[in-house]
């Protein structure tokens, strides 16, 4: 799939993004309005549109543009998995011109995806990731 990269999500793209979110276990309960607010406060958002102009992959980044960039919500539409799009979108982020000075890219993932991210250069860190939810 050739596809087309996008970095803005307006109107129908917002609905397509919400549709991607609604199908993943970690994002299924999110409200449309909260997803839009999240996008407004992300430093970088990248999408990949299919040849027929459907949003089929997405990821976003929070960063200080120097030391760290945290990659969130890497999602590939279930009909397009196994085609290298996850790797492509992560590489697109790591190679993005606005993130050229960032020293460390980080993400967290379930255990079953550690080997996938390991194949594209990520490794387990020394520290545990701690959470405090409301």
65 is catalytic: no
pTM of the prediction? 0.91
**CA–CA gap between residue 66 and residue 98 (Å, rounded):** 10
Domain that holds residue 66: 4-119
Q: Would residue 82 be called left, alpha or beta, if left means φ above 0 and alpha means ψ between -120 and 50 degrees?
A: left
**Residue 126 belongs to some domain of the structure:** no
**Residue 17 belongs to some domain of the structure:** yes
Q: One of 18, 65, 108, 117 is an active-site residue; which one?
A: 117
| Per-residue pLDDT reduced to its tens digit, 11-56 | 999 999 999 999 999 888 999 999 999 999 999 999 999 999 999 9
**Residue 127 belongs to some domain of the structure:** no
Other CB atoms within 10 A of residue 56 CB:
25
Number of separate domains in the chain: 1
Query: Does the pLDDT at position 132 exceed 70?
Result: no
**Residue 124 belongs to some domain of the structure:** no
Q: What is the CATH number of the domain that holds 74?
A: 3.40.630.30
| Per-residue pLDDT reduced to its tens digit, 58-87 | 999 999 999 999 999 999 999 999 999 999
């Amino acid at each position: 799939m050739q596809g087309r990269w996008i970095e803005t999500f307006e109107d129908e793209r917002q609905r397509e993004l919400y549709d991607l979110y609604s199908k993943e276990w970690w994002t299924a309960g999110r409200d449309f309005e909260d997803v839009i607010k999240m996008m407004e406060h992300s430093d970088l958002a990248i999408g990949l549109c299919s040849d027929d102009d459907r949003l089929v992959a997405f990821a976003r980044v929070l960063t200080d543009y120097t030391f760290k960039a945290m990659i969130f919500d890497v999602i590939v539409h279930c009909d397009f998995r196994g085609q290298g799009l996850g790797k492509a979108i992560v590489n697109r982020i790591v190679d993005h011109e606005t993130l050229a000075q960032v020293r460390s890219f980080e993400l967290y993932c379930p255990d079953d995806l550690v080997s996938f991210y390991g194949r594209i250069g990520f490794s387990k860190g020394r520290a545990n990731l701690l959470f405090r939810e409301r």
